[in-house]
Amino acid sequence: MTMEIIATYAAALCLLIGSFFVIVGVIGLLKFNDPMTRLHAPTKVGTVGIGMLLLASMIHSFVVGDASLHELLIMAFLFVTAPISAHFIAKVAIHRRACDMPPPPPRDDMWATLNSPED
């Protein structure tokens, strides 16, 4: 019985921390004024935010007795895919010249994104 209460409080705490980080991510997305800096807030803060929400879901499932590890997979897939979407948004920002242009690479001709035929 006491275990159940402790686990419920732990799940509630995880939900609170998770929602705090998600809110900070949203604030960052709205506050910054450049596509590249905007990218930082959701990509990183989002991972811990959603991770904590999933942890809460996992703790709750163990308390209820219907143990579930699916959340681990969601977390793993999220960690694998978040950098890729961030990478593509960054590439689009560079391609459309929507941000400060990066310095040229020291050892090669140019950045891969700028190496497009219509330029």
**Minimum separation from the CB atom of position 1 to another protein (A):** 26
Euclidean distance between the first and the last CA atom of the chain, given in angstroms as a whole number: 68
Residue found by looking up tokens 């920002």 in the block: 93
* Residue 65 DSSP symbol: T
Give the residue, chosen from 1, 3, 106, 119, that forms a contact with another protein under the rule CB under 8 A: 106
Length of the chain: 119
Q: Please identify, using beta-carbon distances, which residue of 40 and 63 lies nearer to another protein.
A: 40
With a CB cutoff of 8 Å and minimum separation 6, the contacts of 80 are none
Q: Is 16 in the site for another protein (CB under 8 A)?
A: no
CA distance 68 to 63: 11
Yes or no: say if 6 and 69 are a contact pair by the CB < 8 Å rule: no
> What is the footprint of another protein within residues 19-78 (CB under 8 A)?
20-21, 24-25, 27-28, 31-34, 36-37, 39-41, 43-45, 47-49, 67-70, 72-73
Residue 97 interacting with another protein (CB under 8 A): no
Q: Which residue has the tokens 């596509």?
A: 35
Contact flag: residue 3 with another protein (CB under 8 A):
no
Q: Which residues bind another protein (CB under 8 A)?
A: 20-21, 24-25, 27-28, 31-34, 36-37, 39-41, 43-45, 47-49, 67-70, 72-73, 79-80, 82-84, 86-87, 90-91, 93-94, 100, 102-103, 105-113, 115
